C-alpha cells in the first residue's frame, strides 16, 4: 500500500450545469484521504449555493478554498464572503486590486476569521501575458507588502513559478493548469510550487481515485527531482 504523507494535490470542483451535488460529494469523499484539499468557485456556488458548500465541507475535512477571484472594494468582498466564511479555510483574490480600500481590508477580515488569503499573481491561460504577467513584479510587490498565506502562479509557465518562489520565499504557491490546460503533473512542483490545483483531469476521469494516485506519484517524483 502507498501512503501519501502529504499530498500536493488540490482538486478544483467546477461542476458543469446539470451535474448533481451528490456526484461531487461522492468524489470529494472518495478522494478525501488522497488529496490536500478542494477548491470551489463560482460554478459551484451558482449550482448548489451555500447549502452545497456546507455539504461539501461535511464530506471531507481537508483544506477548502473559495475561489471567487475577488477583485472589488473591501466592503463588497467582505459582504460576499460573509455568506461562506464559516465553511472555508482559504479565499482567492486578485493581487491587482491593490492594498488601500481593497486587499488590506480583505486581509484583516480574513485574519480575524482565521481564514487564509491567497493572491493571484499570474494566471495559467495565454491571455495572462496581455496584462497580468507584464505587471508581475508589481503584483509581487503587493503580495510582499500584504504577506498573504499563498500565491497562485501557473503550472503552464513554470518560469513564473520559479520567479515567484525566489521573490516570495515566505509564500505557499498553488499552481493551476495541470491536465486539460497542458501542464503535466509535477511541472509546477518541480518549479517550486507547494501544491498543484487539478480539476477536470481528475473530476472527469472514469476513475478519479486512480488518477489522483498517479498524480501523487508524479508529485513525489518531482519533489525528489527538485531535492525537496
Catalogue the active-site residues: 69
Grid cell, residue 46, equals 451558482
User: Quick one: which segment of 22-30, 163-171, 194-202, 211-219 binds ligand BMP (CB under 6 A)?
Assistant: 194-202
Q: What's the half-sphere exposure (Cβ side, CA atoms, 13 Å) at 165?
A: 19
- Characterize the bridge pairing of strands 116-120 and 172-178: unpaired
Report d(CA 221, CA 210) in Å as an integer: 17
Closer of 12 and 106 to ligand BMP (Cβ): 12
Specify the residue, 84 or 198, whose C-beta has the smaller distance to ligand BMP.
198
In angstroms, what CA-CA distances link 33 with 29, 44, 195?
Answer: 8, 22, 16
| Inter-residue contact 37 to 89 (CB < 8 Å) | yes
Quick check: 198 binds ligand BMP (CB under 6 A)?
A: yes
φ/ψ of residue 145, rounded to 5? -70, -40
CA separation, residue 186 to residues 5, 137, 208 (Å): 17, 25, 17
The yes or no reply on residue 199 touching ligand BMP (CB under 6 A) is yes
Given 65, 78, 110, 197, the residue binding ligand BMP (CB under 6 A): 197
- The 122-161 contact track toward ligand BMP, x by CB under 6 A, reads -xx---------------------------x-x-------
| Strand runs labelled E in 53-179 | 63-70, 90-94, 116-120, 150-152, 172-178
**Whose Cβ is closer to ligand BMP: residue 112's or residue 185's?**
185
- Name the residue nearer to ligand BMP (CB basis): 41 or 158: 41
d(CA 146, CA 127): 26
Question: Toward ligand BMP, which CB reaches closer, 37 or 179?
Answer: 179
3-class secondary structure, 116? strand
Q: Which of residues 58-77 bind ligand BMP (CB under 6 A)?
A: 67
Q: Residues 7, 8, 9, 14: which binds ligand BMP (CB under 6 A)?
A: 14
- Report the site for ligand BMP in 163-182 (rule: CB under 6 A): 176-181
Binding positions for ligand BMP, 87-116, rule CB under 6 A: none
Question: Binding residues for ligand BMP, per CB under 6 A?
Answer: 12, 14, 39, 41, 67, 123-124, 152, 154, 176-181, 197-201
Amino acid at each position: 500500500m502507498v501512503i501519501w504523507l502529504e499530498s500536493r494535490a488540490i482538486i478544483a470542483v467546477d461542476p458543469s450545469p446539470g451535474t448533481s451535488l451528490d456526484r461531487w460529494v461522492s468524489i470529494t469523499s472518495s478522494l478525501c484521504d488522497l488529496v490536500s484539499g478542494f477548491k470551489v468557485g463560482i460554478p459551484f456556488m451558482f449550482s448548489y449555493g451555500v447549502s452545497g458548500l456546507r455539504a461539501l465541507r461535511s464530506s471531507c475535512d481537508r483544506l477548502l478554498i473559495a475561489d471567487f477571484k475577488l477583485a472589488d472594494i473591501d466592503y463588497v468582498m467582505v459582504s460576499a464572503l460573509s455568506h461562506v466564511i464559516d465553511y472555508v479555510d482559504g479565499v482567492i483574490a486578485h493581487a491587482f486590486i491593490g492594498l488601500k480600500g481593497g486587499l488590506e481590508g480583505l486581509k484583516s477580515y480574513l485574519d480575524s476569521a482565521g481564514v487564509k488569503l491567497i493572491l493571484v499573481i499570474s494566471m495559467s491561460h495565454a491571455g495572462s501575458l496581455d496584462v497580468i504577467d507584464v505587471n508581475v513584479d508589481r503584483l509581487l510587490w503587493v503580495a510582499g507588502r500584504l504577506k498573504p498565506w499563498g500565491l497562485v502562479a501557473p503550472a503552464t509557465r513554470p518560469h513564473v513559478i520559479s520567479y515567484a518562489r525566489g521573490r516570495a520565499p515566505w509564500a505557499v504557491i498553488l499552481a493551476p493548469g495541470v491536465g486539460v490546460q497542458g501542464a503535466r503533473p509535477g511541472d509546477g512542483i518541480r518549479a517550486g510550487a507547494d501544491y498543484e490545483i487539478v480539476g477536470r483531469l481528475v473530476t472527469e476521469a472514469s476513475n478519479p481515485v486512480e488518477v489522483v494516485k498517479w498524480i501523487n506519484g508524479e508529485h513525489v517524483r518531482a519533489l525528489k527531482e527538485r531535492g525537496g
